[in-house]
Structure 1
């Protein structure tokens, strides 16, 4: 086992500041969506993901990947969205084991109503508080962190596939 590379004082400060900012930002967006649209951010993200496909539908496994969600958590969320009439599940014609989540007209209408408030909150609390240079740096940082985690996630999935 390799020795732990502990964080120094500056790294601790950056880490904690980053986590505080991400947590507060995410909680704010979730509260805004709950207050204004009656849905948590996770449901909004599912509706957005479906709205961005040409036929407004995705296989459940693909939707879980796009939404960075476990299949069981996504299945529960889609069941709630079905009860609201915003999403419907269909059998997958090419694979009897799979199912497809499809955005309904009512779901699209709810998304159209929710989007302006959500985008305004994102703009106000992210884009409006950063300079153009800070946004470029944030984009680069986000890509670097995502890239490192994408490699790690792929490695973990390969290990799981071996079992």
Structure 2
């Protein structure tokens, strides 16, 4: 009996570790939660709940704005913006194309992912950039016709340990 109790305890501990390690999946898409997406539409209603009958709390009015999906229900996704505000948005208004918001004024874009490489441009705070490859501390961005590498900690829309090819 002790052996069974220990086995069940071990299984529960492993399951709890998997959930706390960020292994949550959406009930609809089975994709990881939370995850980043962007606004496909230039305008999108943010509702209090996951249906058209729920009240509109506000309207996002910025195409390509990065958002974080925190829950799924049918065709609806609960999203959160960089300020922590959020609500329910219809999935058709969202895109899997990854973007980030620059959170540091005059963020330097570098030719290579090193501080001593030449700069290609500087981005103002609030600029939305297309996200490319990400290394442990750097991400490749495209914005306003400019391309380059920026420090990850100056961006919202990418996880600190996230790697992308």
Say whether the fold is shared (TM-score over 0.5).
no
| TM-score tier (shorter) | under 0.3
TM-score relative to the length of structure 2 = 0.26
**TM-score (norm: length of structure 1):** 0.26
